[in-house]
Structure 1
């Protein structure tokens, strides 16, 4: 019997590269959605023409696969909803990547009803359509590690420019977080054993945003006033800097058997910074994690 074939949308992206490699190592035949003029697909994988900005193209692209994993970029309400409808129409088993921000603020778990932040206000509809059709959803929080993600791409440039790490408002906001290397094992577990129409939280810990700011600022932080425009690097996700969440993944760990290896984002990132030659002293970092 031939190995199962998986189409990974976003296979050339930050998370997609890791998930693609994980499925290839697990014996899957990996294919990547190849957008015109997009980042080239790894030559080890089969390239499949298609474009999230052209939802009808996704029907033919996704048809016939043993599994489709959507790790592509969030675009807008019209395209994202049309895109999930097209993938459902294709008829292949599907794992949709959402995010913990769809759950809203407060203490939340896998069984809570979504109350999405306005920045991603349509993502709960994307989830509902996928779940109603018997597909599965994974919700990561802040994804970090391997020199990528929001910390490296947004927080570090601001700290370098201003000479201090920046958080917004009071030093009390927590985000659910997960190391990018802990995601491939969860996607494999969900692909192998999750029931149709189920949702899973990919959260290894809840980290204080001001502690991340202290890390990237080498102990120096700025509390950015709520009534002032955020630094330009933060603009794409400005509202999320005040979205306080404590996200549980207890159900995911118990039922999927997921056991993330990275459970201290600040320590993990400090090791990365040390490799890059950035001086970080853990004793300079403020705050605690839960």
Structure 2
């Protein structure tokens, strides 16, 4: 299929691009610069410079494609507007078709829980309070549209876990909160495989929590990279990291069972603790 992909230069999007190309798809990547266009070209995609906030432009591009995966994030307070524009474009372009659309949500939308599943009510932290409405809009669109909800994404020395490595000072790491909270984790290459499976096999109308089933505590992660770990209060974490800290304090465990049972997803990469203990290099 000819697939339009957003976020192709990011951690998730670049892994999805590689997985799509490996699966035999032709990929057009929406980028913001000529340099990014050259970068995605090296991975086997065709770059097109465009503005994701321009819903009519994006819808026009989408009409010439067989499917769409959205992984882009603005990384600032414009994320809600960006997602609204992208969803509007997809629903406009794919109305009346069977073309698949895979949207990116997030596991933080469910709040804390020891066995998070897709039927749980939303309870997001303030950082992502805007996200559930967009996810629901996608799922109720009547299109062949799915939502992938990644946990804590890791791999290749990148993602949120890299802040743990970078936070070690003379062998000591200050934890996020007490460190007793769990993070539902997923390797970015396993995650990319799920996106491709959702694109090609999902019927639409369903969300898929992307969590491998490995749910380490933050203390376990810290002890994998530092000789000494020092807890802090929740209040200290929020004072240090703001709303991002509130999200990292969530205690989340999940197995990703729906994706495994319905889409045949089989995460196989090393665990986050294993990679951190080995130095968390770009190779892992």
**TM-score when scaled to structure 2?**
0.86
Residue of structure 2 aligned with 1:32, choices 25, 29, 45: 29
Counterpart in the other structure of 1:150: 160
SS at match of 1:245: coil
Counterpart in the other structure of 1:125: 133
Aligned Cα root-mean-square deviation (Å): 2.3
Per-residue CA deviations over 1:56-96 (Å, capped at 9, x if unaligned) read 43222322211110110154323322331122212152100
Are 1:212 and 2:221 counterparts? yes
Report the number of matched residues.
Answer: 269
Are 1:83 and 2:80 counterparts? no
- Counterparts of 1:105 and 1:60 in 2: how far apart (Å)? 40
Per-residue CA deviations over 1:80-115 (Å, capped at 9, x if unaligned) read 223311222121521001110011111311222222
Unaligned segments of structure 2, at least 5 residues: none
Per-residue CA deviations over 1:181-221 (Å, capped at 9, x if unaligned) read 1122212221221111111111012121121122232x311
Per-residue CA deviations over 1:139-183 (Å, capped at 9, x if unaligned) read 11001011111111x2222224x6422323223101110011112
SS at match of 2:204: coil
- Summarize the alignment of residues 43-192 of structure 1 with structure 2, pairs less than 5 Å apart: 43=41, 44-74=44-74, 75-91=78-94, 92-107=99-114, 108-133=116-141, 134=143, 135-152=145-162, 154-160=163-169, 163-192=171-200
- Counterparts of 2:165 and 2:119 in 1: how far apart (Å)? 34
Moved over 4 A (4+): 229-232
Counterpart in the other structure of 1:283: none
